[in-house]
Chains A and B, each alone.
Chain A
Amino acid sequence: MLLKEEQHYQDALLVEECQGGDPTAFDALVRRYKDRIYNVVYRFLGNHEDAQDVTQEVFIRAYKGIRSFKGSAKLYTWLYSIAGNLARNKLRHGRRRGRDKALSLDGLHEAAPALAQESLGTARTPEAAAREKEYESLLQTCIEQLPEHYRMVFILRTFDNLSYDEIADAMGCPAGTVKSRLNQARAQLHQKLRELGAL
């Protein structure tokens, strides 16, 4: 049995137990998906605090709605669709309240090439580790500058390795739209990183 199929089967069993009223089965689902959801949401929002709030809300919504969840669908695409909606709401809410952090790449222009070089090296000195962190932060900042509908597609593909069809399920759009959005997202990131000299 393929890994994804096995995962899908196990998810279906857990969902069935949840729908039968067993809350411990949902605990198992939480353990199974909390890290994946959190990673995606964090990459989308770039904020640990907000990511925790959204992840918690994702599972609450999922728990409330799991009785109506159809076994034919994939659980994780359903969870990602909830996560995407909540993360977008969180982002808009944060913008309205002026909480959006100032995204500026100006200061990174000079440091970016060095950061990119350091990230490619194997030296694990504290300084190298610190520069690697900065490079990661640069990449994260670039993601956060993508338009919302490009951002989530790119994150689901890059960080969770979902197929185009799975992303289409999660985003509620056709697979062709996923392909074009993903292409646009990569092109924009390439453009930004080239401007920064980080490639």
Chain B
Amino acid sequence: MKTYAECREVREEFSALLDGELSLDEREAVEAHLAECSDCLRLLDGLKRVDTAYRKLPPVAAPDALETRIRAAIRPHWYRFKLPRIPFPERWHGPAFAGVAVFLVLLSISVGWLRVSTDRSTPNPAFSTMARAPQAVMSQAGNAPMADQLESLDYTTPAREQPARESGPPSAGPVRSPSPGELARPADDDAVGEALELRRERPTAPEAQAELGRDSAVSGELLQKSGADAASGAAAAAPSEAPAVPPQALNTLGVEEPDARAKSASPIRKFRVINGIHYEQGYNGQKITAVERGSPELRELFQQYPDLAEVAAIDGPVVFHAGDRWYHIPAPVR
């Protein structure tokens, strides 16, 4: 006869017996009890039937749409694998990104403004030295350092190539081309200068065509002499200096627009401002020819070198070069 305590102890093992989770010894002990206890055996049989009944239940499959639904629900979380966690609530992400975008825009504007401002206010030791003692500077190994410093100061015109700048033999200085008509006008003070960067936008196709047409009438002979270079360089002719010509002139000159556009951006005039005077890059004490604004000489220069129209537009006295010479035009009369 089995006691209640023994039966209770054995019945606690029934599930493990059914699931095969008992060790051999435990199993033999339970089976020995069952051999003598019909109540426990009956209970075990009942539990088996329960287990069988539930195991016969068919598995419930997930609806087909559930996988799609899960994928759609997960997709918004994909970025979390790629980006580091942002340590503030998700509802702040939108405003934060907007703030960052605004900051970057303001930063780029500020950097651009500071660059111009710095160029205007930063003294150029090379130029100052040159202004005090031009000969000393010229006696050094060329003006390459100064040229380097001036690299950041661009004055871009869509004008023609300037062969004289590139191919002319040096005469007055170790780097600059000869200046037959040079007029000595040394920088007369030792004030530090300002930097100025001027860039002219490349003309749009219609503008270039119109300017080409206009200039080709002015300097048609020049175009015929120097070909497409001269024609494209004429694109920057000042409207006041050159009469307009219909675009058909382009065809008669045989100048194609793509060439004109390609060459229009090549010349760059760079200036350094010292005491309010704009000195074109390359000036290091050569003689300067003074030209009055509106004078026939200047007009003739503009016709010959149309890119100078932009030089004349500078608000202030300018020292520039055209051909082999250096010229000075005073500030415009107000």
Name A residues whose Cβ lies closer than 8 Å to a Cβ of B: 21, 23, 26-27, 30-31, 34-35, 37-39, 42-43, 48, 51-52, 55-56, 59-60, 63-64, 67, 116, 119, 136, 139-140, 143, 157-159, 163-164, 179-180, 182-183, 186-187, 189-190, 193-194, 198-199
Is B59 engaged at the interface, CB distance under 8 Å to the other chain? yes
A97 to chain B, nearest CB (A): 22
Q: Could you say which of B76-84, B94-102, B118-126, B227-235 contacts chain A?
A: B76-84
CB <8 Å contact, A56 and B53: no
| In the complex, residue of chain B having the shortest beta-carbon distance to the beta carbon of A43 | B60
CB <8 Å contact, A60 and B62: no
Is B89 engaged at the interface, CB distance under 8 Å to the other chain? no
Determine the main DSSP class of B at the interface with A. Answer: helix
User: 8 smallest A-B Cβ distances: which pairs?
Assistant: A38-B62, A183-B15, A21-B81, A182-B15, A42-B60, A34-B62, A59-B70, A158-B54
Q: Could you say which of B42-50, B283-291, B294-302 contacts chain A?
A: B42-50
State which of A31, A51, A189 has its C-beta within 8 Å of the C-beta of B67: A31
CB <8 Å contact, B55 and A158: yes
Once the chains are docked, how many angstroms separate the CA of A116 from the CA of B51?
14
A109 to chain B, nearest CB (A): 17
Q: Chain B contacts of A139 at CB under 8 A?
A: 53-54, 57
Q: Chain A contacts of B57 at CB under 8 A?
A: 136, 139-140, 159
Is B136 engaged at the interface, CB distance under 8 Å to the other chain? no
CB <8 Å contact, A55 and B54: no
| In the complex, residue of chain B having the shortest beta-carbon distance to the beta carbon of A180 | B12
Q: Chain A contacts of B56 at CB under 8 A?
A: 119
Once the chains are docked, how many angstroms separate the CA of A38 from the CA of B154?
70
B227 to chain A, nearest CB (A): 59
Once the chains are docked, how many angstroms separate the CA of A183 from the CA of B18?
10
Is B69 engaged at the interface, CB distance under 8 Å to the other chain? yes
Is B145 engaged at the interface, CB distance under 8 Å to the other chain? no
Q: Chain A contacts of B21 at CB under 8 A?
A: 163-164, 179
Q: Chain A contacts of B14 at CB under 8 A?
A: 183, 186
**6 extra A-B contacts, CB within 8 A, seeds A26-B74, A60-B70, A179-B15:** A34-B62, A34-B66, A55-B62, A139-B54, A159-B54, A186-B47
Is B71 engaged at the interface, CB distance under 8 Å to the other chain? yes
CB <8 Å contact, A38 and B12: no
State which of B47, B78, B80, B81 has its C-beta within 8 Å of the C-beta of A187: B47
A140 to chain B, nearest CB (A): 8
A sample of 24 inter-chain contacts (CB < 8 A) reads: A21-B81, A23-B75, A23-B78, A34-B67, A35-B59, A37-B62, A43-B60, A48-B63, A52-B63, A52-B69, A55-B66, A56-B69, A59-B70, A64-B80, A119-B56, A139-B54, A140-B57, A158-B55, A164-B19, A183-B11, A186-B18, A190-B43, A190-B46, A198-B53
CB <8 Å contact, B62 and A35: yes
| In the complex, residue of chain B having the shortest beta-carbon distance to the beta carbon of A181 | B15
CB <8 Å contact, B49 and A199: yes
| In the complex, residue of chain A having the shortest beta-carbon distance to the beta carbon of B53 | A139
B30 to chain A, nearest CB (A): 12
CB <8 Å contact, A34 and B70: yes
> Which B residues from 1 to 51 make CB contacts under 8 A with A?
11-16, 18-19, 21, 43, 46-47, 49-51
